[in-house]
Amino acid sequence: MGSNFSCSACEGPAEPQKIRNETALKYLELAIEMGGDNYYFHRVKSLVEAALGNYESAISSAQRSMELAAQEDKDEFVRMNDKNIGLWKDMLLKQH
């Protein structure tokens, strides 16, 4: 993984996207750590985690995003996060 990625080594079109999502997740975690504890970063982080199939982490990030969005009266983000949390909980149930 990393900058030595070779497309000929991937198994199909989903593999490059997975690598991009993993890289995005690292940058989002760094941004949050550096003082970006805001609803938007947590929202994007939740979407990336869900794209990677990490639904439990996605739910946790979406819940944090929802809390922060509610504090700033960002009702649309509260609704979007709530909807995604429901979808991801359903995905978890289907996995078990």
pLDDT in tens, 14-62: 688 899 999 999 999 999 999 989 999 999 999 999 999 999 999 999 9
- Predicted pLDDT at 13: 56
Residue 2 maps to a domain: no
The residue segments making up the domain with residue 52 are 11-95
- Predicted pLDDT at 14: 67
Residue 31 maps to a domain: yes
> What value, to the nearest 5°, has the Cα angle with vertex 54 and ends 51 and 58?
80
Q: How many domains in the chain?
A: 1
Q: Which amino acid is at 72?
A: E
Report yes or no: 43 and 77 within 8 Å, Cβ to Cβ.
Answer: yes
Residue 5 maps to a domain: no
* CATH value at residue 50: 1.25.40.10
The pTM of this model reads 0.82
Residue 22 maps to a domain: yes
Sign of CA dihedral 93, 48, 53, 17: positive
> What value, to the nearest 5°, has the Cα angle with vertex 60 and ends 82 and 30?
120
Residue 80 maps to a domain: yes
Residue 32 maps to a domain: yes
